[in-house]
Amino acid sequence: MNFLEQKICDEGLVLSSSVLKVDSFLNHQIDPEFMKLIGIEIANRYKSDRITKILTIESSGIAPAVFAGLELGVPVVFARKKKSLTLTEGLLTSKVYSFTKQEQNEISIAEKFMHPGEKVLIIDDFLAHGEAALGLADLVIKANAHISGFGIVIEKSFQEGRKKLEEKGYRVESLARVKEMNTNGITFIQSEVMSS
Ligand code: G4P
């Protein structure tokens, strides 16, 4: 079991067979030391890819993305889910449907922060149905930039997010891949050993 899988087992709460609560270190309270390790691990997997920018989405993708950005020495842009008072011109937008919340959001970034030809690493906290990930990919495509791959903290492998991304030819690196979960426990698809 890697250090993230261990943390999920120690602190995660299985709310149902499809929803995992990890608010003690990822979705509400953030454990900075732990998140730094997560960021370093994602960065290590892409360190030979000459990444020039990281793209994530508010809010829970920001913490792992910032630590990965620190490690790779590149800026981090986060897509907004709501219109911002100051973010009004030169926007790239994409529609994202949330299965969890059963609502459609228009996500956006400023064009000026995503240049044609950039090599972009897309990071998010969860990969579930893959809608947010595909929306972020769409923003990169609209900017004429290149998607180097995805860095995901927790993948729910029993949902179809990874399949959708791989079908499009994208590389997906997930630090923990949940195969199955219920009130008796969580099983993971065997992952690479990560040092902590
Ligand atoms: P998708 O983007 O992969 O299609 O997934 P979905 O619509 O199901 O997810 C919508 C939101 O719910 C996302 O966060 C996603 O990270 C989160 N989510 C999905 N499955 C789980 C889960 O099992 N546990 C937890 N804790 N979150 C899950 P969000 O609403 O955008 O929230 P935030 O980033 O602002 O925290």
| Residues 103-149 pLDDT 10s | 898 999 999 999 999 999 999 999 999 999 999 999 999 999 999 99
Question: Is residue 184 annotated as involved in ligand binding?
Answer: no
Does ligand 1 have an atom closer than 6 angstroms to the CB of 80? no
Q: Which of 72, 60, 68, 22 is nearest to 42 (CA)?
A: 68
* Distance in angstroms (rounded) separating the CA atoms of residues 140 and 90: 14
128 labeled part of a ligand binding site: yes
Rounded Cα gap, residues 75 and 109, in angstroms: 14
The domains of the chain are located at: 3-186
pTM: 0.95
Quick count: other Cβ atoms within 10 Å of Cβ 38?
Answer: 29
CB of 125 shorter than 6 A to ligand 1: yes
Reported as a single tens digit per residue, the pLDDT across 172-191 is 999 999 999 998 999 999 87
Residue 121 β-bridge partners = 54, 149
pLDDT at 101: 81
What is the residue-averaged pLDDT of the chain? 95
pLDDT value of residue 193: 60
Identify the residue with better confidence: 146 or 196: 146
Comparison of pLDDT for 73 and 85, the residue scoring more: 73
Query: Strand locations in the chain, DSSP E?
Result: 13-14, 20-21, 53-57, 76-79, 91-98, 103-110, 119-127, 146-156, 172-182, 185-188
**Section 2-6 average pLDDT:** 96
Can you give the pLDDT at residue 191?
73
Which pLDDT belongs to residue 165?
Answer: 98
CATH code at 3-186: 3.40.50.2020
